[in-house]
Amino acid sequence: MSAMDTNPNAHGEHSEAVNTAIVHPHHDEHEHHDEHEHHHVETFWNKYVFSQDHKMISKQFLITAIFMGVTAMLMSLIFRLQLAWPGQSFPVLEVILGKWAPNGVLNSNFYLSLVTIHGTIMVFFVLTGGLSGTFSNLLIPLQVGARDMASGFLNMLSFWFFFVSTCIMFSSIFIETGPASGGWTVYPPLSALPTAMPGSGLGMTMWLVSMAIFIVSSLLGSLNYIVTIINLRTKGMSMTRLPLTIWAFLVTAILGVLSFPVLFAAALLLIFDRSFGTSFYLSDIYMDGRALEHNGGSPILYEHLFWFLGHPEVYIVLLPALGITSEVIATNARKPIFGYRAMIASILGIAFLSFIVWGHHMFITGMNPFLGSVFVFTTLLIAIPSAVKAFNYITTLWKGNLQFTPGMLFAIGLVSFFITGGVTGLILGDSALDINLHDTYFVVAHFHLVMGSAAIFGMFSGVYHWFPRMYGRVMNKKMGIAHFWLTFAGAYGVFFPMHFLGLAGVPRRYYSNTEFPMFNDLVDINILVTWFAILAGVAQVIFLFNFFYSIFRGQKSSQNPWRSNTLEWTASVKHIHGNWPGAIPEVHRWPYDYSKPGHEEDFVPQNVPLTEKELAEGEH
């Protein structure tokens, strides 16, 4: 690690050497010329609602994502009831769903609505908006040593677009013809023709509008993250002294900027086909007793456009979780993350490769088999950087001094899910094997292990770990530990058996398996899965209670409760605009000097100057 100097921070400040205590007030007259500081009167509206402070915005993203996540999880419990006990009457369903569950039995169209909205909410609103939106916003300025994001105004807009998008998606659940129901992938012609299914009416229009606004929010956020990381790092914070969280958030943002516009295009063309008579995706269709006018288009075009985003999207979901895991494991192992540079290279490798694998979602669309071969090759390649990361996490534990905080437990849990879920990706990425497994529960098992388990665990890890930085208090650790083990067991209990359903040929998005005798023996598996889902769902109540209770009555946090090296722990515990009451700390070393020989403490924060010995050795 060379002692590369970067641009001094925006004010050309030179900070004093500090350790973990709060920066002493500095008499530097420049410190309040921060263009992001507002000497206006703080009102309720600009503090809590239209805040331009990244810390408040991160909390807004988190609370919104929690609300949406609970909604999507409840939806999954409802359709799991139907799958385990098909056709059985559950009076409570009629209470909640009204006409969509006549006599307590879920309506088959609304079943498809539930799985569609469940998937849409979880992938976009919880794991993209909630994961990137929360942690990129909270950590980027604090960890790079900036007063706030490059543009507080755009940042505020990125949350409010997200919120509007949330409102539209949520309210689409309640309209008369029902929300979008063609699966979260909403392939045309099913999603293009309102008479193909009720959910392809107004519900689909609302889905498209909501997603278009969501994409705007995501792009605004990503631009801010990239600009802030590149331009507003504090003095001494070279790129190779950035914590891995920042590397992950940076690369994720770049992925988003390059791929979300393509989904926007796909959605726009779909809006045109639906409402303005175009035929981008439609041709040769006979429906409602007549041949439709649309001619010349192809649904495969939509699939290419969708998956060109869709694949990078899953890495947009996963990379921040991996970055968080690096940080939480290193801090709690009291050891540097193993292979810092290899970790950066893996992030870059995964990001690059993620753009050239999208066809593995399309092996059996009838596309040219040679093209399929190319995608097999690139897809299996992406396993290499992923393997490097997994091995590096494990090596970080070796000879560590492991502190099993709830955050650490979830981070290690992520490693387990990442491995188990990742390897089945190799099976699915092998096109010959995909023939019999495509669109079966084997796929559902795979992506729920990597996204619905690994990425969510990254989010939980981050919430427990940075809760003190968000709310100035610590979450209850006993409840956190209970939440972890119950959720870990629950998640494996739900998703592991699904592999067997897929191998038995059970397709996705089936309202019921009762119409095929070949599936009669599998009823027990569905029941087992549903019971585990109920267990996992109930376990989240512990988290929700812990989270909200601790905001008000949690143990007050010390300055640096986890004894961590990164800059966010040097900022003011009480949230202030500008993060540090005095000058911004200057950085002298990388963030992973844990248990470093030659130091009394088992951690050396980034803003601690090099010792004479370290200077002589040319250290990080």
Partner 1 sequence: MVFLVLTVIVLFVIAVVRVMTIAELSAELRNGRTDDVMTDEENKNQGLMWVVFMIAFFGFCIWQMVKYSDKLLPRAASEHGPEIDTLFNFSMLLITIVVVITHIVLVYQAYKNAGAKTRKATYFAHSNKLELIWTVIPAIVLTAMIVYGLTVWNRVIYPSDKPAIVMELYAKQFDWTARYAGNDNTLGRSDFRSIKEGNDLGLLEDSKADDDVIVKGEFHLIKGKPVRFKFRSRDVIHSAYMPHFRAQMNCVPGMETVFEFTPTVTTAEMRAELKNDAFNYVLLCNKVCGQAHYNMQMDIVVETQKEFDTWMAGQENWMQKQATAAPATGPVADATILSPVAKTDQSKEKH
Q: Which of residues 245-264 bind partner 1 (CB under 8 A)?
A: none
Sign of CA dihedral 180, 186, 191, 196: negative
For the CB of residue 576, give the shortest distance to partner 1 in the complex, in Å. 22
Structure tokens at 129: 């908006």
Asked if 597 is part of the footprint of partner 1 (rule: CB under 8 A), the reply reads yes
Separation of alpha carbons 25 and 16, rounded Å: 11
Site for partner 1 in 371-400 (CB under 8 A): 372-373, 376-377, 380-381, 383-384, 387-388, 390-391, 394-395, 397-400
Q: Which residues pair with 594 in a beta bridge?
A: 603
Site string for partner 1, 426-465 (x = CB under 8 A): xx--xxxx-xx-xxx-------------------------
End-to-end CA distance of the chain: 4
Give the range of 239-247, 316-324, 447-455, 491-499 binding partner 1 by CB under 8 A.
Answer: 491-499
Separation of alpha carbons 79 and 77, rounded Å: 6
Asked if 66 is part of the footprint of partner 1 (rule: CB under 8 A), the reply reads no
Site for partner 1 in 189-228 (CB under 8 A): 189-190, 193, 195-198
For the CB of residue 615, give the shortest distance to partner 1 in the complex, in Å. 18
Q: Which of 50, 160, 500, 531 binds partner 1 (CB under 8 A)?
A: 500
For the CB of residue 51, give the shortest distance to partner 1 in the complex, in Å. 27
Separation of alpha carbons 112 and 76, rounded Å: 11
Asked if 412 is part of the footprint of partner 1 (rule: CB under 8 A), the reply reads yes
3-state secondary structure 498-544: HHHHHHCCCECCCCCCCCCHHHHHHHHHHHHHHHHHHHHHHHHHHHH
Asked if 300 is part of the footprint of partner 1 (rule: CB under 8 A), the reply reads yes
Asked if 482 is part of the footprint of partner 1 (rule: CB under 8 A), the reply reads no
Residues binding partner 1: what is the number (CB under 8 A)?
A: 137
Contact 449, 421 (CB under 8 A): yes
For the CB of residue 115, give the shortest distance to partner 1 in the complex, in Å. 9
Task: Name the CA radius of gyration of the chain, rounded.
Answer: 25
Considering beta carbons, is residue 227 or 489 the nearer one to partner 1? 489
Site for partner 1 in 514-553 (CB under 8 A): 515-518, 521-522, 525, 545, 549, 553
Site for partner 1 in 265-294 (CB under 8 A): 282-291
Asked if 359 is part of the footprint of partner 1 (rule: CB under 8 A), the reply reads no
Separation of alpha carbons 612 and 600, rounded Å: 15
Task: For residue 399, give every residue at least 6 positions away whose Cβ sits within 8 Å of its Cβ, in sequence order, or none.
Answer: 335
Site for partner 1 in 158-177 (CB under 8 A): 176-177
Contact 332, 404 (CB under 8 A): yes
For the CB of residue 408, give the shortest distance to partner 1 in the complex, in Å. 8
Separation of alpha carbons 331 and 232, rounded Å: 24
Separation of alpha carbons 351 and 316, rounded Å: 9
In this structure, which amino acid lies at residue 93? Answer: L
Asked if 419 is part of the footprint of partner 1 (rule: CB under 8 A), the reply reads yes
Considering beta carbons, is residue 49 or 291 the nearer one to partner 1? 291
Q: Which of 466, 510, 543, 580 binds partner 1 (CB under 8 A)?
A: 510
Asked if 44 is part of the footprint of partner 1 (rule: CB under 8 A), the reply reads no
For the CB of residue 319, give the shortest distance to partner 1 in the complex, in Å. 19
Q: Which of 77, 212, 504, 535 binds partner 1 (CB under 8 A)?
A: 504
Considering beta carbons, is residue 167 or 544 the nearer one to partner 1? 544
Asked if 356 is part of the footprint of partner 1 (rule: CB under 8 A), the reply reads no
Fill in the DSSP letter of residue 555: E
Q: Please, what's the b/e burial string for 577-603 (b: 16 or more CB within 10 A of its CB; e: otherwise)?
A: bbbbebbbbbbbbbbbbbbbeeeeeeb
Other C-beta atoms lying within 10 Å of the C-beta of residue 278 = 17
Q: Which of 164, 257, 356, 402 binds partner 1 (CB under 8 A)?
A: 402
Contact 156, 51 (CB under 8 A): yes
